[in-house]
Amino acid sequence: MDTHVFKSSNSGNVSKMLIGWLILIIFWYAPAWMILKTAIFGSQITQSMGVNPNGLMTNPPPWLDANSSYFRLPILAWHSLRLSFATAIMAIPAGTLIGFILSRCKWHFRPVVQSVWLASIFLPLPVVASAWLGAFGNSGRSQAFGLSDQPLISGWSAAALIHALAAVPVVVWVMSGVMLQVDDFIENMARMEFSMPLAIYRSTIRKCTPAAVAASLAVLIMTAGDMTVTDLVQERTFAEEAYLQAQMGDGLAAAARTAMAPVFLITILILAWAKSNTIWHDRFHGGSPFSFLGKKWLVGWPGFYAGIIATVLTIIAWGIPIATLAWRAGRSGGDAVMNSKPSWSITALVHNLISAWPDLAETLPYTLCIASITALTSTFMAWIIVEISVKSVSFQWAVLTGAAIGFAVPGPVAGLAVQWLWMPWQTIYDSWAVIIAAQVFRLMPIAVLLIWPSVQFKSKPVNDLVRLDGLTAQQKFWRVKWPTTGPVALATTGVIFALSIGELPATNMVTPPGVEMLSVRLWGLMHTGVESHLSAVVLACMIAFTMMMGLFTIIRSNFGKALNHFTNL
């Protein structure tokens, strides 16, 4: 090899490594150090004012003092584990079943049901919570069915159900994509020895086990770190406790101390999963020497029954809450003194929907802009650091540790850490840039989780092709890297974009004055808004996000065709 080429390549690798370390330090390790330092030494506010590091309360009760022996670590741990595991137990099987039906079964109305689940990916968690709690939660709202004046869902079980419904669309997206990538040869061989259901289970479903484990881990951790629903149903988890501590003056010190135990535990759990992931991949996702063109769709009666199951689940998950929201948004009139109940009318529904659009007009521009930047930035940086980690074991573990910390830190603590980190830089602290920094801290681990397999588990011939001396860097990217990782990166961008729109725990902490975020606006309406107006705003959000999903699908399809055409030139 030419010495000049070798020096140029070596210099390029050093530059990439420096960029990778800068990404890790700025977006993950600097906020993590702020959390650790504040948890151990307290903050500047507590040091200068001499107040208790658990907030500005001079005499906090023993159960609220993070340094007290009465601190409720076992209670918080039990509540968090109960909520997270219940969410995963509901979301993963349901998402896997629906994903299989949508990706492998042919039946009438499949495109319609598929569009519903794709559109639901873009629904923020506050919207899902409003739809279900508004329909079945608070007392009196279940009158839409004439069932009861009491709430039909409440407490931690309601939180688990809502988190599961919000997670199922993402699980459907991931699992259906993985099922389409399973080698046909394995499933066809299994059908020669077993009946169809058992053959599919022993081939396609087993091949999806690593993806299901990764999805389960993501659902568990994201549920444990979110307080959107737990605050509404008053379920005291680690995230909810951290949110409570954060509201009591000098909140970062107390919230960080509250979150230290689950952060260490979840970080160790994620690193252990990463260590065993290669073994799982070799066992369940190994390549096959043969491959058939096209999948065998389940048609006839199996496809018909599968379609019925998917349609019923879709109606239960989204049809009933939307109907109750429309019922609540269309109610008007009534007089408590005269014991006259409000009545429903299409005129009132249209009027309330029109009145709801200003809330979207004021918040969607900021929200969509920040979500777009967050999605593109997170995906691009995740791709860079995962590519670099292939060449360095130490950097690989640094990436995994940073991603684990970003996963493990509860949302309110992450928001406070990023806010305090950038407080000396007024340009960032007083602008929407601090929101992007907080969301990247929380969401880039998901991008790493989704992109990791497509980069780390390339076959040896592909890696050898990347290193060919005859290809320029641009040719290597378009001919080798883009066909193998590009589609995953596009899907990852869509997932991060959807999650960014609904991100509340960190966004609620860092949003500066003058910036209107949709999730924060919905959060305020859920606490102080009029029920008919809140229902109308949620319905308007669903209409807007459905239109957005259609636009995203068109852009993604045309963009993919254009890139494929450019690649084949």
Alpha-carbon gap, residue 135 to 526, rounded angstroms: 13
List alpha helices for 182-299, DSSP H: 184-193, 196-200, 206-207, 209-224, 228-233, 238-246, 251-284
Alpha-carbon gap, residue 395 to 380, rounded angstroms: 17
Query: What type of residue is 126?
Result: P
Alpha-carbon gap, residue 255 to 55, rounded angstroms: 9
Alpha-carbon gap, residue 227 to 79, rounded angstroms: 12
Cβ count near 511 (within 10 Å): 21
The contacts of residue 371 (CB under 8 Å, 6+ apart) are 497, 500, 501
Q: Of 6, 24, 26, 4, which is closest to residue 14 (Cα–Cα)?
A: 6
Alpha-carbon gap, residue 421 to 444, rounded angstroms: 18
Alpha-carbon gap, residue 466 to 332, rounded angstroms: 65
Beta partners for residue 331, in sequence order: 344
pTM of the predicted model, to two decimals?
0.77
Alpha-carbon gap, residue 316 to 359, rounded angstroms: 28
Domain boundaries along the sequence of the chain: 29-43+72-567
Please answer whether residues 434 and 419 qualify as being in contact, where contact means their C-beta atoms are separated by less than 8 angstroms: yes
Alpha-carbon gap, residue 224 to 48, rounded angstroms: 33
pLDDT of residue 6: 46
Alpha-carbon gap, residue 109 to 115, rounded angstroms: 10
Alpha-carbon gap, residue 342 to 154, rounded angstroms: 25
Query: The tokens 């049901």 sit on which residue?
Result: 113
pLDDT of residue 306: 85
Please answer whether residues 86 and 157 qualify as being in contact, where contact means their C-beta atoms are separated by less than 8 angstroms: yes
Q: Decide: helix, strand or coil at residue 72.
A: coil
Concatenated DSSP letters of 303-322: HHHHHHHHHHHHIIIIIHHH
Q: Of 275, 268, 287, 270, which is closest to residue 214 (Cα–Cα)?
A: 270
Please answer whether residues 166 and 128 qualify as being in contact, where contact means their C-beta atoms are separated by less than 8 angstroms: yes
Alpha-carbon gap, residue 510 to 416, rounded angstroms: 7
Question: Which stretches does DSSP call E strand in 60-183?
Answer: none
Q: Of 519, 497, 495, which is closest to residue 368 (Cα–Cα)?
A: 497
Query: Two tokens at 564?
Result: 């494929």
Taking the CA atoms of the chain, what radius of gyration do you get in angstroms?
A: 25
The domain defined by 29-43+72-567 folds into MetI-like fold (1.10.3720)
Query: Two tokens at 159?
Result: 């939180």
Q: Decide: helix, strand or coil at residue 116.
A: helix
Beta partners for residue 335, in sequence order: 340
Query: The tokens 């269309």 sit on which residue?
Result: 330
| Cα separations in angstroms, 541 against 207, 290, 296, 353 | 37, 46, 38, 10
Please answer whether residues 503 and 442 qualify as being in contact, where contact means their C-beta atoms are separated by less than 8 angstroms: yes
pLDDT of residue 49: 41
Compute φ and ψ for 54, nearest 5 degrees.
-95, 20
Alpha-carbon gap, residue 329 to 536, rounded angstroms: 5
Handedness of CA 232, 237, 241, 247 (dihedral sign): negative
Element (H, E) at 332: strand 331-332
**Between vectors from CA 179 to CA 544 and to CA 380, what angle results, nearest 5°?**
55
Handedness of CA 561, 167, 234, 525 (dihedral sign): positive
Alpha-carbon gap, residue 130 to 539, rounded angstroms: 10
Alpha-carbon gap, residue 167 to 94, rounded angstroms: 10
Alpha-carbon gap, residue 502 to 519, rounded angstroms: 6
- Chunked into runs of 10 residues, the chain (569 residues) has average pLDDT values of 50 78 92 83 52 45 51 78 91 90 84 84 80 67 52 82 89 81 70 75 76 81 83 82 69 71 76 64 45 54 84 88 81 61 80 87 90 93 88 86 84 86 88 93 88 66 57 66 74 84 87 88 77 82 78 66 54
The contacts of residue 229 (CB under 8 Å, 6+ apart) are 125, 129, 158, 159, 162, 163, 235
Alpha-carbon gap, residue 549 to 192, rounded angstroms: 40
Compute φ and ψ for 247, nearest 5 degrees.
-85, 0
